[in-house]
Structure 1
Amino acid sequence: MYTTDDSQYKIVRYQGHTVKQEIERDEDGEPIYKGGKYALCVVENNNGDICASDGNADTVVVVNKSGRVRSRYDGTPARRKESFNPRHIATDSISQIIVTDIDNACLHILDQNRQFLRCVDNCGLDDPNGLSVDSEGRLWVGLYDSGEVKVIQYMK
């Protein structure tokens, strides 16, 4: 959720119509997510971690079930030409985190411990924006400018 002026973001867990948890601030009372023009893209992985790509802060933030920040990923380990610019995010059956990086035309893959594994950048991913993972270990990547969808087999 975010305010109408895009200045504040938070994640809200529901059970039915009842709010069960709100995740907005870290242990020090600081906002976890930065407000701005880009919405958070959020996914929950197999162990209950909530993974959010925050395009306003150019980071991926992972919080545990209780809402405590486990890690922040800023793209540095990938050593790309442009700054990390995350958009969509997905997790797979082994809790890897996959993030589109629209400015570097690639995908960042992090392991279940949130450590950088590799970039997928050799298959014409111009402006990767949409992202989904299917049960057969394929990534479905939407390309913003062309409107194409690329299907990439990345797991065996």
Structure 2
Amino acid sequence: MSENNNGDVCVSDVNADTVVVVEKTGRVRFRYDGTPATIEESFDPRGIVTDALSQIIVTDINNNCLHILDQNGQFLRCVDDCGLEEPVGLRVDIEGKLWVGSLDKVKVIEYLQNK
């Protein structure tokens, strides 16, 4: 679970294979099920974090990638070219680097295209 800069609460629901984002009032703003990302296996979200740009970043353990959404749930891109294996945990540090934890290691990724 992560709180975005706009006050939304972002949750990865591993039972429903969905990301759910709700407003402060509890009203559901949107759900994300991995569509329209081009993925081979079913979407299996685990770790979730938001960044300084209010982007929502979610690990997808089945596809060994990260899904990046804007604050309104629009799919921006997948990060799948950095050798991730079963990513489950995420943190963004003060410099904007993304720390991705898997079952046996941690990778640091500079994922922002334009700082």
Q: TM-score range by the shorter chain?
A: over 0.9
Q: Which residue of 1 aligns with 2:106?
A: 149
Letter in 1 for 2:69: L
- The two structures have a TM-score, normalised by structure 2, of 0.96
Q: Secondary structure at the match of 2:71?
A: coil
1:1-156 to structure 2, matched below 5 A, reads: 42-144=1-103, 147-155=104-112, 156=115
Separation in 1 of the partners of 2:53 and 2:73? 12
- For CA contacts below 8 A with separation 6 or more, give which structure has more relative contact order: 2
Query: In structure 1, what is the Cα distance between the partners aligned to 2:10 and 2:102?
Result: 22
Tell me the percent identity.
Answer: 72
Q: How far, CA to CA, are the matches of 2:60 and 2:96 in structure 1?
A: 20
Q: C-alpha distance in 2, partners of 1:76/1:112?
A: 16
Structure 2 residue identity aligned to 1:102: I
Greater Cα radius of gyration, structure 1 or 2? 1
SS of residue paired to 1:78: coil
TM normalised by structure 1 equals: 0.71
Unaligned runs of 5+ in 2: none
Name segments (4+ residues, structure 1) moved above 2 Å: none
Q: Deviations over 1:92-149 (max 9, x none)?
A: 00110000000000000001221000000000100001110112111100111xx210
Work out the number of aligned pairs and report it.
113
Question: One-letter code of the match for 2:105?
Answer: E
* C-alpha separation in 1, matches of 2:22 and 2:43: 20
Distance in 2, Cα, partners of 1:121 & 1:104: 8
